[in-house]
Structures are given as C-alpha cells and as structure tokens.
Amino acid sequence: MGALKNIALAAGLLAAAGMGETVYFYNRTMKRGNAKTERTTRMSGTDWEKYFPLMEERKGYVLAQPHRDVYITSFDGLKLHATYFPAQTEGAVKAVICFHGYTGEGLSNHIAIADYFLKRGYAMLMPDARAHGGSEGEYIGFGCLDRKDAMGWIQWLVGECGEDVKIMLHGTSMGGATVLMTSGLELPENVRGIVSDCGFTSPKEVFTHVLNHMYHLPAFPAIQGADFLNKKLAGYGMDECNAKYEVRRARVPILFIHGSADTFVPCSMCHEIYDNCASPKRKLIIEGAAHAESYYKDMAVYEKALDEFAGEIM
C-alpha cells in the first residue's frame, strides 16, 4: 500500500507540474499583454537594428501620404482597427491588405513595404490583428480566427474602393499564416492573389518547433494543455486550422516567400505548404534571410517577384 501511495503522490505532483507549465505557457503566448514584442523579436533571431535607418527614411514618406483610421466589427463582436491609405492615382482599381506578425501592429510593421505599394498606385489597408494594436480582443487568433477577420476587411475594402477593385492579400509570419488560411475560404472575385512571407502551418506546429528546437523542451504537456484551454477561452483549437490543409482548397494564385535561415518558422514549413497548394503558385527562397527578413535582405529580388506576380494577377 505504501508503494501505491507513493506512486499516486508522484503522479499527482507530475500532473500539477504539468498543469503549471501549461498555464504558464498559455498565458505567456496566447493572451494580450503577456505576449511581448521584445521577446518575439529576440526569439526570431533577426538583427533589426541594421534596418532602422531604412525604416525611418521610409516612415517619413509614408506618413506624409493621406491616411486615416478605420474600423469594423468582427464576427464575434470585437472592434477591429486598421490604417487605410487611399491610392495616390485617380481611378486606381488595385489594392493590397497587409497582415502583420505575432505581437506586431499593422502600420509600424509595414512602413518599409508601404513605400513599395503606395508608389505603385495601390490603395493600402493595414489591419491590427485581434488582441494587437488598436483592435480589441484578449486572445490572439494565430490566423485561425484572423482569417475570418480578414474576410471582414476584404468586404470593407470592396465597399470603400468599389466593386471593380482588384485585391492582393499580403501577410508576414502570423499574417502569412492568416492569408494562407484565408485561401481555403470562399473569397470574392476581387481577391486576385495572395503573398505569404514566412507563414507557418498551424500554431500547434510552430510552437512545438519553438519548444523543441529553441528551448529544448518537450511539447507535452504544454501544447496539449494550451490547446484545451484555448478551445475553452478563445474558441478554437491550436491545430484546428492548418495552412497546409487550407491551401488544398485554394483557387487564387499564391506567391510563397521564405528566408533560408529562418529558425523561428523553419523554411521546411514553406515547402510543405507549397507542396499542398492546389492553386497556381510560385516560390521564392531568399538565401541567408532570417525570420521576416526577406524583404530587407534582398529588396531587389523581393520587389521583382512582387512585380511579376502582380503583373499576372492584377
């Protein structure tokens, strides 16, 4: 009896430790205010300081262009915010919606590439994802909920620019996963193409990678416990929506971009999603680029790929 009692006690202690690990992991990564930009930047392994001068230079030009704050209400009642830049040319019928990454914000994360789009005559919409920036929400959507919000922003842009508007969806990291997950939905004909920059397959798979390869920790029980909590609190499972499955239903062309040196979202995820994609597709791997660094690492190649892709779809 003593041995059985000790085994039961040990099992109870392990279960309690596992629950503590789960709650700590969940609160740290899934809840607004606890998911810190500084920690994400550190984990991404990208040296952003060397790009600050370029960002500051482009920020001056971009913010000098006419723009305004706009809002929609999400499918579950949240007030969502975006920054909207009308096209600089009269009668323009092309627009881009740019979706940012985990712990980012729409305007600040797209200052550099906004220069590219605005100078080419695009109207530009930069939403803050739920639980980020000026958008409401306590729990981060990781693309699974954000794809539904994306549909709302597409509808808003069509209403703003007119029924003839041609829309490109562009996303980076979590935003890349968002646009890939959106590809499996019934998109209006206005959406002509999707660009995913370092998008991941699912929150479950990317966090498993981070725990295993960056922290050298087992994913069990933190991921399984977080999945249970997230279904109860945020309303979706962490593998409920997976980009590699959603693109099997895609109908619009997709351009996949990824850095070969990405340790946060491994380049293998890009290849996996690309191989599953059912729609016309292109792939650009930027050699030596870390997470979300591709545009800055080789801007000429990146912009050339965008030019060619837009030439086919817009």
pLDDT in tens, the chain (314 residues): 444 343 333 333 233 334 566 777 788 888 888 777 777 777 777 889 999 999 999 999 999 999 999 999 999 999 999 999 999 877 668 999 999 999 999 999 999 999 999 999 999 999 999 999 999 999 999 999 999 999 999 999 999 999 999 999 999 999 999 999 999 999 999 999 999 999 999 999 988 887 786 666 677 777 888 888 889 899 998 888 999 999 999 999 999 999 999 999 999 999 999 999 999 999 999 999 999 999 999 999 999 999 999 999 99
- What lies within 8 Å, CB to CB, of 241 at 6+ separation is 143, 144, 147, 181, 202
User: Tokens representing 114?
Assistant: 């906004």
C-alpha 18 chain-centroid distance = 29
pLDDT cut 70: percent of the chain above it? 91
Going across the sheet that includes 166-172, the strands are 68-73, 79-85, 123-127, 94-99, 166-172, 191-197, 254-259, 281-286
Q: What is the pLDDT of residues 254-265, one digit of tens each?
A: 999 999 999 999
Best CA proximity match to 263, nearest among 208, 182, 209, 196: 209
* Ramachandran quadrant class, 18 (left: phi over 0; alpha: psi -120 to 50; beta: rest): alpha
Q: What is the pLDDT of residues 104-122, one digit of tens each?
A: 999 999 999 999 999 999 9
Torsion sign across C-alpha atoms 108, 97, 258, 138: positive
Q: What is the pTM of this model?
A: 0.90
